[in-house]
Chain A
Amino acid sequence: DVKVTQSSRYLVKRTGEKVFLECVQDMDHENMFWYRQDPGLGLRLIYFSYDVKMKEKGDIPEGYSVSREKKERFSLILESASTNQTSMYLCASSWVGTGGGSPLHFGNGTRLTVT
């Protein structure tokens, strides 16, 4: 079974802090994704990566950056955390592109609170 591991389940940070959310997958998947989930909204894509050192903006990239130095690890960075970034963050990976029939495998999520 594919395992996608997010480094923290719960995180509390202060406004203005730089925040790192880490995600590791163990199945040699090409694609990795970062989503956020907010009440009343669907999962929204922040960034994705289809190869090492490659990244593409999703629907809501503002205030975020990402890093993929190794195939198995995809980091989400909040350069200067703000209260509107309080949310549930989900990492996912897929073998090939989702349009090619490959499902997403999700981590357990990180609930981030910015105070």
Chain B
Amino acid sequence: ILNVEQSPQSLHVQEGDSTNFTCSFPSSNFYALHWYRWETAKSPEALFVMTLNGDEKKKGRISATLNTKEGYSYLYIKGSQPEDSATYLCAFTYGGSQGNLIFGKGTKLSVKP
């Protein structure tokens, strides 16, 4: 059974703290790694899609790295703000460009002002 593990499950930080989460996935038959942010009462929103080993992507204060050989990705948030509070989902596609996208259970981030 293919599994995507995210850690930690939840995280409470103070405004201004920097933080990072981990996503682990099977390294074989890899096609793409996705990160989504899901705020309460909204729909999940794509942050990054990465396909190449060593990829690094950045969007404002949020960045992500990818290691397909060892099967992990990190998401970093620099200087967390209350509006960063959300559940961050990681997912990976295996088995082809039309392959199945398997989601992790998410990391729930709460940022206190």
How distant is the Cα of A41 from the Cα of B87 in the complex, in angstroms?
13
How distant is the Cα of A98 from the Cα of B100 in the complex, in angstroms?
8
The minimal Cβ–Cβ distance linking A98 to chain B, given in whole angstroms, is 5
Over the window 88-113 of chain B, the binary record of Cβ atoms lying under 8 Å from chain A Cβ atoms (1 yes, 0 no) is 01010111111111111110000000
Tell me the count of chain A residues lying within 8 A, CB to CB, of chain B.
28
Tell me the count of chain B residues lying within 8 A, CB to CB, of chain A.
28
| Contact present for A42 and B103 (CB under 8 Å) | yes
What is the number of contacts between chain A and chain B, taking CB atoms within 8 Å?
76
How distant is the Cα of A35 from the Cα of B101 in the complex, in angstroms?
11
Give chain B interface residues in 4-22, CB to chain A under 8 Å. 4
Q: Which of A65-73, A77-85, A106-114 contacts B (4 or more CB under 8 A)?
A: A106-114
Interface residues of A (CB under 8 A from B): 4, 31, 33, 35, 40-45, 50, 58-59, 90, 96-109
Interface residues of B (CB under 8 A from A): 4, 31-32, 34, 36, 42-46, 49, 51, 89, 91, 93-106
Besides the known contacts A58-B100, A103-B36, A103-B49, 12 further A-B residue pairs in the complex with CB atoms under 8 A apart:
A31-B98, A42-B102, A97-B93, A97-B99, A98-B93, A99-B94, A99-B98, A100-B32, A100-B51, A101-B49, A102-B49, A108-B42
